[in-house]
Each structure stands twice: as structure tokens, then as C-alpha cells.
Amino acid sequence: MINKLIALCLFLLLSVGARAQEVEMADQLRQDGKIWVVVLVIGVTFAGIVYYLVRLDNKISKLEKEIRK
């Protein structure tokens, strides 16, 4: 499960980079150095979602094992 999740994350990150387009607002953020704040917020949000999903998967797996007993 974790390997598939990591592969999916890498695929998504690579595909986003390949489809990036020049946007005036993004250029301004890069010039001001604020683009890293945007990247950080997106990264923290994504990491939180991944953490939540992994915990949820573990809890569901634990419940399934208890039901099988």
C-alpha cells in the first residue's frame, strides 16, 4: 500500500511539473520569493492528507482483522 502511495505521489509531482505554464501571478511570486510559501503550504496540505489516509487505512485494516477473529 505504501509503495503504491509513494509511486502515486511521485507521478503526480512529475506530471504537475511537466504541465506548468507561465502565469503572471506566479512570476510575481517568484520575484518576491513568496513562491516558496505557496509550495510549503501545498506540501504541508498534501502531507496532511497522505498522513490522514495512511492512518485511516491502518484503522480499517485493524477493524477488518478484529472482525475476522
Q: Kindly list the domain boundaries of the chain, sorted by start residue.
A: 2-68
Length of the chain: 69
Q: Which residue has the cell 509513494?
A: 6
pLDDT tens digits along 6-56: 887 777 777 665 555 567 777 787 788 888 898 999 999 999 999 999 999
H-helix or E-strand spanning residue 53: helix 35-68
pLDDT (0 to 100) of residue 64: 94
Selection from 35, 14, 15, 36 nearest residue 25 by Cα: 35
User: Measured in whole angstroms, how far is the alpha carbon of residue 59 from the centre of its chain?
Assistant: 20
Residue 15's identity, in one-letter code, is S
pLDDT (0 to 100) of residue 44: 97
Does the structure show a pLDDT above 80 at 67? Answer: yes
**Stretch 57-68: mean pLDDT, rounded?**
94
